[in-house]
Structure 1
Amino acid sequence: MPLSSDRYQNLTDDEVEHIDQFLFRFAKLQDAMGRKLFKLVLILKDDLSIDEVESMNFIDILNRLEKLKLLDTYTWRSLRDDRNELAHNYEDNAEESSIIINRLFEKRIELFKIYSKIKNYL
C-alpha cells in the first residue's frame, strides 16, 4: 500500500486473496459493530430497553453514540459509504478500485479506534 491502478491490474493471486480478505474482514467488523455492538452499548449504558433500541433507526443509534462521545457520525457514514462504493465498483474500474482500497486501508485505523473506544467504554 498504497496501491496504484497499474499495480492493481497486475496483482498476483495471493495478493488478490489478501486484499479480498482485508475487505471482507473490514466489512464484517463494520457490520457487526453496526448491527450488534452499537445496540449493546445503548442497552447497557444508555438505559434503553432491547425493544427501544431495536425500534430505533440506525441514524438515531449513531446520534446517541455520538452524544456519548464514542464516535463521530460523519466518520462512520464515510466508512460505510467508501465500503459500499467499493462493493459497487470492485474489479470494474482499476483506478476507482485502487483509490477506494487505499482509502479503506487508511481508514481501518479509524474503524479500530471506534471499536477500541467502545470496548474501553464497556
Structure 2
Amino acid sequence: MTVDTLKIESIRLLALLKIVRREGALLQKTDTRLFKAKLDAAWVERLENDDDLAERLDAFVSRFGRMQDTVGDKLIPALLRSMAEKTGSALDNLNRAEKLGFLPSVEQWLDARNLRNKLVHEYMSDPEEFAAALNKAHLTVPLLVTTYNAINQYARLRLSNAEWPELLP
C-alpha cells in the first residue's frame, strides 16, 4: 500500500468515526428514553395505540441496526485498511478486529447482528419474544459503544494530524 493510499484510508476512517459517533450518541439517547419503563409483552401490545411510543421504538430499532451495520460493515474494514491490513469477508474482518482487541467477541457481535435482524423482521409477531429481543438489544448497546471507543482510541494514538471525534460515554 502506498503512503497516499494509507492517507486516503485514514481520511475515510476519520469520516466514519465521526458518523458512528453521531449514530452512537443518538442511539444512546433513544435507548435511555425507551428503557425508562419495563419492556414486556404488555408494553409491546400497547404500541398499536401509542404513536409516540411506537415512533420511539422505531427510532431505537433503526439506530441500533444502523450503528451495528456501520461499525461492522464499514468502520472495521476501514480501520484494517488504514493499518495496511488485508480485508476479507465480514467474518474475517471481525475475527481480525477481535484479535487486535477492538472487538470483545466475534460471537457477541454475530449475536448482535442476528438480534438486529430479529428486531427488523419479526416486529411484534410475538409480543413476549419481541420484548425479550428489545431487552437484549438494550443490553447490547454497550458492545457497540465499546467497539467504537476502542477503534477511536486506537486511531487517535496511531494516526495524527486529524480532528478525532470524542469517545462515547
Fold shared by both chains (TM-score > 0.5) = yes
Query: For 1:60-92, what per-residue CA distance to the aligned partner results, in whole angstroms no more than 9, with x for missing partners?
Result: 111111110111101111111111122221121
Q: Counterpart of 1:35? A: 73
Please tell me the residue identity of whatever aligns with 2:152. K
Query: For 1:1-39, what per-residue CA distance to the aligned partner results, in whole angstroms no more than 9, with x for missing partners?
Result: 330101111131101100100110111111111221001
Please tell me the residue identity of whatever aligns with 2:99. K
Aligned residues of 2:61 and 2:119 also touching (Cα < 8 A): no
User: 115, 123, 127: which is aligned to 1:94?
Assistant: 127
Q: Tell me if 1:64 matches 2:96.
A: yes
Please tell me the residue identity of whatever aligns with 2:150. K
Q: Tell me if 1:24 matches 2:62.
A: yes
With the length of structure 2 as denominator, give the TM-score of the two structures.
0.65
Q: Counterpart of 1:105? A: 138
Aligned residues of 1:38 and 1:61 also touching (Cα < 8 A): yes
Number of matched residues? Answer: 116
Aligned residues of 2:61 and 2:120 also touching (Cα < 8 A): no
Please tell me the residue identity of whatever aligns with 1:98. A
Q: Counterpart of 1:84? A: 117
Identity score, percent: 32
Q: 4+ runs of 1 displaced by more than 4 Å?
A: none
C-alpha separation in 2, matches of 1:90 and 1:82? 11
What is the aligned-residue RMSD (CA, Å)? 1.2
Aligned residues of 1:89 and 1:96 also touching (Cα < 8 A): no
C-alpha separation in 2, matches of 1:7 and 1:65? 37
C-alpha separation in 2, matches of 1:86 and 1:36? 21
Please tell me the residue identity of whatever aligns with 1:119. N
